[in-house]
């Protein structure tokens, strides 16, 4: 896919990976809708992009934790730049720890990390199928291929995000719908850094110990290359594929290794 002249929507675009994607896609020639619950942040990113190329970006407030919020975002994007060519469901939350996590937190994790992808696709597909093309991208996580020590909600929702992207690709890939799924490990974002706060649990420490922490711009470069090639899995950390291969080859050995890693991180 050549993004030049295309219309891209990126959720969670005010910071971190989303901001990096917005900047990179814009440099590739796309018109970008930067969507975020942080409306001021989304508009700041859009203003930076418009300074480089006038009238090529728009920042909007988007609450994608409900179906209507996704509908409103898509309609706003269409009103700005026309039919959406690429939708990147990037927004996510890293909340919750174990089975004592509140129901509200569980529900929020599923709404943002999974259902938002489903709701967006539901309302994008009719137009895409009628014209025979469209690109849906989602940010899951290495946790969606492996697991996340210290957070049951994150592990479950990121696995579900990968599963939904797979289903979307296999169901509609022969009808012109392209799908890619981003599964990074450690990235220098607010989500990772907030994990260092007291009481946040071991998730951040596990991620940092597992490999390099990339910058959002690095992830965005790799993501664009995969989109241009129109392949499915975006794995910015090569070691994730190694771990994934070990998991598939010997599930019990992989689980035992993860338990040892957990014990080491927790000092057990």
Q: What is d(CA 126, CA 165) in angstroms, rounded to the nearest whole number?
A: 17
Selection from 141, 170, 4, 17 nearest residue 88 by Cα:
17
Answer whether residue 267 is part of any domain. no
CATH number at residue 22: 3.40.50.720
- Check if 154 is active-site: yes
Selection from 165, 84, 167 nearest residue 127 by Cα:
84
Answer whether residue 266 is part of any domain. no
Tokens linked to 149: 């020590």
Answer whether residue 261 is part of any domain. no
The pLDDT score that the predictor gives to residue 198 is 38
**For residue 164, what is the enclosing H or E element?**
helix 152-172
Answer whether residue 2 is part of any domain. no
Answer whether residue 45 is part of any domain. yes
Answer whether residue 254 is part of any domain. no
Q: What is d(CA 223, CA 107) in angstroms, rounded to the nearest whole number?
A: 29
Convert the pLDDT of each residue in 80-106 to its tens digit. Answer: 999 999 999 999 999 999 999 999 999
Tokens linked to 236: 């910015």
Selection from 233, 29, 218 nearest residue 139 by Cα:
233
The pLDDT score that the predictor gives to residue 135 is 98
Convert the pLDDT of each residue in 145-195 to its tens digit. Answer: 999 999 999 999 999 999 999 999 999 999 999 999 999 999 998 876 765
Q: What is the count of structural domains for the chain? A: 1
Backbone angles phi, psi at 141, to 5 degrees: 175, 160
> Which position among 135, 154, 172, 243 bears the catalytic label?
154
* Boundaries of domain holding 55: 7-241
Answer whether residue 135 is part of any domain. yes
The pLDDT score that the predictor gives to residue 266 is 80
Q: What is d(CA 34, CA 77) in angstroms, rounded to the nearest whole number?
A: 9
The pLDDT score that the predictor gives to residue 239 is 94
Per-residue confidence in pLDDT tens, the chain, 268 aa: 999 999 999 999 999 999 999 999 999 999 999 999 999 999 999 999 999 999 999 999 999 999 999 999 999 999 999 999 999 999 999 999 999 999 999 999 999 999 999 999 999 999 999 999 999 999 999 999 999 999 999 999 999 999 999 999 999 999 999 999 999 999 998 876 765 443 455 555 666 566 689 999 999 999 999 999 999 999 999 999 999 999 999 999 999 999 999 998 887 6
Tokens linked to 238: 């090569």
Integer-rounded Cα radius of gyration of the chain: 18
The pLDDT score that the predictor gives to residue 6 is 98
Answer whether residue 165 is part of any domain. yes
Q: Are 114 and 171 in contact (CB under 8 A)?
A: no
The pLDDT score that the predictor gives to residue 199 is 43
């Amino acid at each position: 896919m050549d993004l030049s002249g295309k219309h891209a929507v990126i959720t969670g675009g005010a910071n971190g990976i989303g901001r990096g994607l917005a900047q990179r896609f814009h440099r590739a020639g796309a018109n970008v809708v930067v969507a975020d619950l942080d409306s001021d942040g989304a508009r700041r990113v859009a203003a930076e992009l418009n300074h480089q190329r006038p009238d090529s970006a728009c920042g909007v407030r988007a609450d994608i934790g409900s179906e209507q919020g996704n509908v409103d975002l898509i309609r706003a994007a269409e009103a700005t730049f026309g039919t959406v060519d690429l939708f990147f469901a990037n927004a996510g939350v890293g909340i919750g720890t174990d089975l004592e996590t509140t129901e509200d937190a569980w529900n929020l994790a599923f709404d943002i990390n999974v259902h938002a992808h489903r709701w967006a696709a539901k309302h994008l597909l009719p137009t895409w199928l009628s014209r025979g093309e469209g690109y849906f991208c989602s940010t899951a996580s290495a946790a969606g291929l492996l697991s996340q020590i210290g957070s049951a909600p994150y592990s479950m929702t990121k696995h579900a995000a990968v599963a939904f992207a797979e289903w979307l690709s296999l169901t509609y890939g022969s009808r012109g719908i392209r799908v890619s799924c981003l599964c990074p490990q450690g990235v220098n974002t607010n989500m990772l850094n907030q994990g260092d706060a007291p009481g946040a649990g071991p998730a951040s420490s596990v991620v940092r110990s597992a490999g390099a922490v990339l910058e959002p711009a690095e992830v965005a470069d790799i993501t664009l290359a995969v989109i241009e090639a129109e392949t499915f899995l975006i794995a910015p950390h090569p070691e994730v594929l190694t771990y994934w291969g070990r998991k598939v080859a010997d599930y019990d050995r992989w689980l035992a290794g993860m338990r040892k890693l957990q014990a080491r991180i927790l000092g057990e």
